[in-house]
Chain A
Amino acid sequence: MDIAVNLKDVSKRYDDFKLENLNICLESGYVLGLIGPNGAGKSTTIKLLLNHIKADSGQIEINGKSYDKSGPSIKNDIGFVLDQDHYYSHLTIRKIGRALSPFYTEWSQSKFESYIERFSLPFDKKISQLSKGMKMKFSLAIALSHNAKLLLMDEPTSGLDPIVRSELIEILSGVMLNDKKSIIFSTHITSDLDKIADYILLLNGGKTLLNEDKDALIERHAIVKGPKELSHEVSDHAIGIKKHKYGFEALTCDKNRFLNDSRLIFEKPTLDDIMLYYTKGESRC
């Protein structure tokens, strides 16, 4: 079993924020969805993985190598899609491809050209003339053109319309099927992860709230709905509870306790429900 990303007790402190004891162990060929509200620590995690910032403590290994020992050559194996457009806006797609190619030991010009064509991007258009969706696809084409084993994606779908978002997810699903790459996908739009994520890491305020298999996570939890009078009983075993005029809605990880009560309705939670309840209420699971 190859480990693509291994983070052990990684901490990073800023004046107003602390990422605490982060642990990630992602096997090669799997997708980890990094979720959490704004300021949760998702971008800090991506920056740590790209060595843009140094961890105060802990150990970071990518494909079994650490930056301290192997230096920046590790990044030959990393493709990245950052949250904003970071390429020179006055250059064309063709020129940026040409400028970046010497940096990578395994850059494939034919792969790059085929991705640009597949994503219907115009070779001779300047970056400044591309739409946000096109810029994201261009970043993805660069990330996929040098045989990277790991893709780091920092909020790639933020600000994209649903059609482009779904297109991007389709492309990533294809990549996973054909190339077996590992992906860390940070987002606060959790529905993006429904199709592609294998594991979910939920961060809030720099703390890890959940870190497990996505299907098991959804299976383990349930949305419970019921009449007002039962809200007290359920709230003791709920991660969070929302009361309204006619009753309540809660997220629990202990649904077996209530299964026999016919007054309650159970629903499968979405990742959005899980994130919302965990980040707004105290976790008891």
Chain B
Amino acid sequence: MFAFQRFIGLTYLMALFFYAYAIIPECFEQDEKNNSEKVVLSLPVSRKDIVVSRYLLVFITIIIGNITFFTLNFIGKYLPFSYESISVNSPLFAFVVFYIVLFYSICFPVMFKVGKHKARGLIFVLFFATFFGLPTLINAITGSSNELLSRILSFAIRSSNMQITVILLLLTGLVCITSLLVSLLFYKQREF
């Protein structure tokens, strides 16, 4: 259960989150810095392809981030100092995918609407909310006496790892598709 291994889980989440944060907004940043969006829009590619490619980038980053993480985790076992290997179960993996996709699903429509530079305030707030807010939020949820939260928690405890994984991945898909449609709507109307 990911809730019970939250500290280990947070290390994994933060590692993947920072990795994605170092790559994805930077791609937008480079495009804006070099004014390259004008070149891309002058090529025989549709605006839909441009938007979809950004969402694919999130998933590619998650895959490469996981490969890097598990490789380093594996190497860590053979290092001459004490290293506690991090084991990641499927619900934790699904939660990390969900969280990173949720983060960019909120940021992307704004970035496609106004550009990365103007959306940096939102990215900054969400970034620090993840950094400081998420551990607090997880603690608050696990220690909360709120009825709804208790029900969700007890549902999570009763459910199998596979059920939680499937629910989280379905939620990821739903969030991603909704965000993609909004981004498409914004980007198709955007003028350069």
Kindly identify which residue among A50, A82, A89, A103 contacts B45, using a CB–CB cutoff of 8 Å.
A103
For B191, what are the chain A residues with a Cβ–Cβ distance below 8 Å?
47, 52-54
Question: Are B38 and A82 in contact, with the CB atoms below 8 A?
Answer: yes
Contact check, B42 vs A78: say whether CB atoms are below 8 A apart: yes
- Chain A residues closer than 8 Å to B35, beta-carbon distance: 84-86
Residues of B within 8 A of A73 (CB): 44
Query: Is B34 engaged at the interface, CB distance under 8 Å to the other chain?
Result: yes
What secondary structure prevails in chain A residues at the interface with B? loop
The distance in angstroms between the C-alpha atoms of A51 and B45, with both chains bound, is 11
Known: A47-B192, A52-B191, A53-B191. A72 touches B36 (CB 8 A): no
In the complex, what residues of A have CB within 8 A of residue B192's CB?
A: 47, 52-53
Residue among A52, A72, A78, A84 with most chain B CB within 10 A: A72
How far does the alpha carbon of A75 sit from the alpha carbon of B34 in the complex, in Å? 21
Q: With A52-B191, A53-B192 known to touch, is A87 a contact of B42 (CB < 8 Å)?
A: no
Beta-carbon contact of A86 and B44 below 8 Å: no
> Is the pair B44, A88 in contact by a Cβ cutoff of 8 Å?
no
- List chain B residues, Cβ under 8 A from A50: 41-42
B178 at the interface (CB under 8 A from A): no
Point out the residue from B34, B44, B45, B46 that lies within 8 Å of A87, measured CB to CB: B34
B56 at the interface (CB under 8 A from A): no
A82 to B43, CA, bound (A): 13
| Neighbouring A residues of B30 by C-beta, 8 Å | 88
- What are the interface flags for A71-99 relative to B under an 8 Å C-beta threshold, 1 for contact and 0 otherwise? 11111101010101111110000000000
Q: Is residue B79 within 8 Å, beta carbon to beta carbon, of the partner chain?
A: no
Q: How near does chain B come to A18, taking the closest CB pair, in angstroms? A: 15
A104 at the B interface (CB under 8 A):
yes
Bound together, the chains give a CA A103 to CA B30 distance in angstroms of: 20
Known pairs A53-B191, A53-B192; A88 contacts B42 (CB<8 A)? no
Contact A71 B36 (CB under 8 A): no
A73 to B45, CA, bound (A): 7
Given known contacts A53-B191, A103-B45, is B38 in contact with A87 (CB within 8 Å)? Answer: no
In chain B between 7 and 45, which residues have their CB closer than 8 angstroms to a CB of chain A? 30, 33-36, 38-39, 41-45
A100 on the B face (CB < 8 A): yes
Q: Evaluate contact between A103 and B46: CB separation under 8 angstroms.
A: no
A87-B34, A88-B30, A88-B34 as given contacts; A72 in contact with B39, CB under 8 Å? no
A185 to B186, CA, bound (A): 31
Chain B positions within 8 Å of A, measured between CB atoms, are: 30, 33-36, 38-39, 41-46, 191-192
| CB<8 Å pairs between A and B, sample of 24 | A47-B192, A50-B41, A50-B42, A51-B41, A52-B41, A52-B42, A53-B191, A75-B43, A75-B44, A80-B42, A82-B38, A82-B39, A85-B34, A85-B35, A86-B35, A86-B36, A86-B38, A87-B34, A88-B34, A89-B33, A89-B34, A100-B43, A103-B44, A103-B45
Chain A interface residues toward B at CB < 8 A: 47, 50-54, 71-76, 78, 80, 82, 84-89, 100, 103-105
Q: Given contacts A72-B46, A85-B34, could you give 20 more A-B pairs where the C-beta distance is less than 8 Å? A: A47-B191, A47-B192, A50-B41, A52-B41, A52-B191, A52-B192, A71-B46, A72-B44, A73-B44, A74-B44, A80-B42, A82-B39, A85-B35, A86-B38, A87-B36, A88-B30, A88-B36, A103-B44, A104-B43, A105-B44
Ordered nearest first, which 4 A-B pairs have the shortest CB separation?
Answer: A75-B44, A53-B191, A52-B192, A103-B43
